[in-house]
Structure 1
Amino acid sequence: MPARRVDPVARLIDLADALEAGFAAVVRTGGRLLRAGGAGLTGGLLWRGVAAATGIGLTATLVAGLSSGTPEEALPSLSSVVPAEPVAAPAIRDVRIQAVPAAFGEEGWIHVARPIAMFGLDAPEIGKRAGYEARRSQDGGRREDMLSFGEFGDGQPFLALKFQANREAAEQGAAVGLSQPFVITLVRESAARGLSVGRSDTTTLIETKFGTVETADIGLSDGSAGRACIGFRHLDGAAHLSFSGWLCGGETRPVDRTQLACLLDRVELLSAGDDPGLRAVFAKAEPQRRPGCSVPRTAAGGRKGADAEAKAPALKTGAGRQGAAR
């Protein structure tokens, strides 16, 4: 036989009726005692005792009524409350182990271990090429080639060049890089090579076979020595080829913008690979080369044609040749 459900509300009503009847009886009894005067109690003390007894009785009755039956029967309203779902806190990224994806140009490159040189420059007045590095974008749409001539810390002329070929230039239009100031570009690229820019002057424009190039006199330092250089940039988002870098003179051989323009005009395309757009850039630029920017050639005896102070090789006489034949 199922247990009968106890209604706590009805029981509380019955309890209230019983308390009311009991309280009325207590009051009547107390009144008779006061009138008789035989109890020996004052009226105030008697009323305090009645109030205390009533409070204790009410508390005990409530506790007994609420504790009867099962918790679900005694407190139906509490058992019907559905606990609220905990609100999930937003995920917090730990920057030590989860980096934010960098913008294209920072981490979106793949280093080419053994690059095939795409660009060449014959610059005997500066020195031999000291390094050639290359990297390409992950999607294959861009490639950067970094060339350097000489060493920054030896006090001799030094040239650093970075070329960027962009296959997607036609679709992008005037896009990436144009919003970045020229000086900021120099600061970032010098930092990538372990150098810092100490000062920079007003930008000056020069003309080359590739078009207009921005230049500025800057001070570069490797932490131990500083040098006066010319920073430059040809950055056209709509062009297939962009380049930047700096040219530093020697301790006794300063450089100027005329020499820089000639060096840039002598840049050659060694291999375009499968990039016909890059080949078209150089085909268009070559007719714009300055006529006076030929490479200083070396004579058969080892003397440069532009070096008037070099010693001429000794002429071999017939006797000398006969002696050598013997």
Structure 2
Amino acid sequence: MRSIDAVSMVQAGLRRFGPGLARAAAFGRIIGARLAAIDLVPFLITSADRIETGARWCMRTGRHLPARLGITGAFAWRCAAALAGIGLTAALVTGLAAKDEDQLQLASLTLPATNVTEQPGTSPRRVRTAAMAEDWVAIPRPTAVFNLEAPELGREAPLLEARRSQDGDRREDLLSFGSFAEPKPHLALRLATGEGAAAGARSFMVALATEAALRGLAVERSSAPAPIETRFGPLETADIVLAAGAESRACVAFRTPPGEARFAMSGWWCAAPRPGDRRQLSCLIDRLDLAGGADQELRGLFARSELKRQAGCAPSRPSRTSSLDMDASAPALRMKTAGTEPARIAAELPKPRPRPARRQP
């Protein structure tokens, strides 16, 4: 009964809408016939002629407009090229920034899923990302943890700034040797220690531009990153041109690749009077040493890296981590007592010779 009712309903609908569908089909056939009768070739030719005429008018106007404004043709082309370069640079920076933001958003979206898949009975592991400014606390009077002595840096003490995270798990020391504005060697070195020291989803160029902006500098040009080897592992490096107002210098930027290392570094090296090279930078990094106040894990890392130090890149003074193994105990001292010392001295004194007997007259 239901199938018969459905068939009857369909037939009733066809009888009701049949005349309208027939008129729509007839109207479609009329429109198709009219479109088929139109010759598109003359229309296309006319459109091409109009486009060519408009292009010629633009070329004549663009050719005579700089002369009327008192601008030479070469200067106008340079201005156009500069505007095109600025536009492409802005598009590139925007794309890189959007890529970093997408990676951070994806990381935040996948964080709950990572916590769900953890094994029962294990402590949850915190995911470290690039720390914001509000996550750090400045250390008013920091104690130097690292020391770097090299002939290229002179004898002046570096400027030291330090900060720590709110939870106390991380610390960053910023060492600045020399001045960027003065024509002498300049080294900006940021040393991060603790959990997630090498974490970060930013690309090399975006991280470099951000760190340079925090120090009042701008990155004018840069090359593609290339790795170099140091005693602390590989570093990403790139030839860059830094500018501070009208002053610009050729430097070499570097950073530790993102990973799970508890010790990382970044910054740039600007030599003088000649541009610095990667071999010189690698030797500077190999001269890095501990000054004091480091924990057991950091001292062990520096002690193990002594075997990877390049020949000729040792510091002027012996390293505090090169002579002793940090995991071994110091040898016991030999103590002297006051009771045994006089006996030993008396035993070592020469015995007096016997005098010969004198003859009686």
Name the TM-score, length of structure 2 as normaliser.
0.49
Contact 2:178 2:185 survives alignment (8 Å): yes
Distance 1:154 1:143 in 2: 29
Partner residue of 1:230? 252
Partner residue of 1:257? 278
Contact 1:175 1:238 survives alignment (8 Å): yes
Report percent identity of matched pairs.
48
* CA deviation map 1:74-129 (0-9, x unaligned): xxxxxxxxxxxxxxxxxxxxxxxxxxxx9733211000011000111002322323
Contact 2:190 2:265 survives alignment (8 Å): yes
Q: 1:112 aligns with which of 139, 143, 152?
A: 139
Q: 2:313 aligns with which of 293, 297, 306?
A: 293
Distance 1:269 1:105 in 2: 27
1:154 to partner: Cα distance = 0.7
* CA deviation map 1:234-286 (0-9, x unaligned): 14431110000000121x3321111000000000011244x322122212211
1:175 to partner: Cα distance = 7.3
More helix by share: 2
Distance 1:239 1:195 in 2: 28
Provide runs of 4+ in structure 1 moved above 3 Å.
294-297
Distance 1:191 1:181 in 2: 16
Contact 1:235 1:243 survives alignment (8 Å): no
Change (3 A) 1:125 1:113: same
Partner residue of 2:199? 176
Q: Which amino acid aligns with 1:176?
A: A
Partner residue of 2:21? none
* CA deviation map 1:213-248 (0-9, x unaligned): 100000101112000000000144311100000001
Change (3 A) 1:158 1:277: same
Change (3 A) 1:295 1:182: same
Q: Which runs of 5 or more residues in structure 1 are unaligned?
A: 1-101, 298-326
Distance 2:217 2:137 in 1: 23
1:163 to partner: Cα distance = 0.3
Change (3 A) 1:103 1:282: closer
Bigger Rg, which one: 1
Change (3 A) 1:277 1:149: same
Residue 132 of structure 1 aligns to a residue whose secondary structure is strand
Contact 1:129 1:148 survives alignment (8 Å): no
Distance 1:272 1:235 in 2: 26
Change (3 A) 1:103 1:219: closer
Q: 1:132 aligns with which of 157, 160, 171?
A: 160
1:162 to partner: Cα distance = 0.2
1:296 to partner: Cα distance = 6.6
Q: Which runs of 5 or more residues in structure 2 are unaligned?
A: 1-128, 318-361
Change (3 A) 1:199 1:114: same
Partner residue of 1:188? 210
* CA deviation map 1:110-150 (0-9, x unaligned): 00011000111002322323301100001000000000111
Name the TM-score, length of structure 1 as normaliser.
0.55
Partner residue of 1:217? 239
The reply to whether residue 159 of structure 1 matches residue 184 of structure 2 is: no
